Amino acid sequence: MAGRKATVDLLNEYKIRPRKSLGQNFLIDDNINRFIVKTLQLQKKDLVLEIGAGLGELVNLMKDEAGLILALEIDRGLNVLLKERFEAEKTVRVLDKDILKCNLDDLIKKYNFKQLIVVGNLPYYISSPIIFQLIKYRQVIKKTIIMLQKEVAERLVAKVGGKDYGILSCFLNYYGEQKIIKKVKNSCFFPRPKVDSAIIELSFYKKPLIEVENEDFFKKIVKTAFSQRRKTITNTLSLLNKPSLSKPELSSMLEDMKINPAHRPERLSAAEFARIANRLYSACL
């Protein structure tokens, strides 16, 4: 299907008006959908979770290739449409769920799989929380191909030292690797969004390169450091109340770790943040 006219006709048939509040910009270019499915390299043994299945265009292309597709969709009207469209398909389950409230471990167990593949043209208003949700369940995620606003995708793949490097890229670098695999023009969507998009592939390491003693503490350190990106890490980390260290103490600790205390957060790699977190965490005990 796809194409602007077919999309509008289907929406009209079900009396659905695209909701901006749910990030509903439907992909109307079938070549992009085919590209995504080709990149996924699905096998009959795979469980696929599609975040925000919309009108079901991707589901339609994947249904004969995967073992089972869980088409997650929060919108009631789209749920009705998806259920009718795929009612006869043994490999498709339409789930009326919010991705942010989904326990992916439970979902996998329920359908008797060990891992899942995640795909989706993400609702952009919650793309960052969705990324955090994927990081949380990274142990059970075999592959992730998602589409995001181009600017967000560029932030996710940003390397240390660049202006786009921040909390999300730092976390993702810690947990795995990520790359942009295709840029997509805004004209490929209905309704047409203001900005272009990009498809990225995320892969998570089995184990992070440097393990942290306490993950929440690591996240706190990264968030604190980036809370004031113009300040040096010595200045921002001195804002922590646990452990409460003076600037000279922090500075000598960082020097001792061969990390420049005058650097701003964007100059620090995820591994360096991990080392700082471990050192400060042991100071809290």
Chain residues in the site for ligand SAM (CB under 6 A) = 22-27, 51-55, 57-58, 72-75, 78, 98-100, 121, 123, 126
Nearer to ligand SAM, 184 or 225 (CB): 184
State the alpha helices, DSSP H only, in 93-183: 104-110, 127-136, 150-156, 167-175
User: Whose CA is closest to 51, among 17, 74, 31, 29?
Assistant: 74
Minimum gap (Å) between residue 222 Cβ and ligand SAM: 25
Minimum gap (Å) between residue 98 Cβ and ligand SAM: 4
Minimum gap (Å) between residue 84 Cβ and ligand SAM: 16
Nearer to ligand SAM, 51 or 237 (CB): 51
Nearer to ligand SAM, 100 or 257 (CB): 100
Nearer to ligand SAM, 57 or 272 (CB): 57
Minimum gap (Å) between residue 190 Cβ and ligand SAM: 8
Judged by phi (left if over 0) then psi (alpha if -120 to 50, else beta), residue 23 lies in left
Phi, psi of 66 (to 5 degrees): -100, 170
Residue partners of 123: CB distance under 8 A and separation at least 6: 22, 23, 24, 51, 52, 130
Residue whose Cβ sits closest to ligand SAM: 52
Q: Token digits for 16?
A: 């659905």
Minimum gap (Å) between residue 87 Cβ and ligand SAM: 19
Nearer to ligand SAM, 99 or 233 (CB): 99
Nearer to ligand SAM, 195 or 284 (CB): 195
Residue partners of 268: CB distance under 8 A and separation at least 6: 160, 170, 225, 233, 259, 276
Minimum gap (Å) between residue 266 Cβ and ligand SAM: 30
Distance CA 189, CA 2 (A): 10
Nearer to ligand SAM, 55 or 250 (CB): 55
Q: Token digits for 266?
A: 């964007």
State the residue for tokens 């696929």: 48
- Contacts of 182-188 spanning 24+ positions with Cβ under 8 A: 182/32, 182/35, 183/150, 184/27, 184/29, 184/32, 184/147, 188/27, 188/28, 188/29, 188/32
Distance CA 108, CA 138 (A): 13
Minimum gap (Å) between residue 63 Cβ and ligand SAM: 14
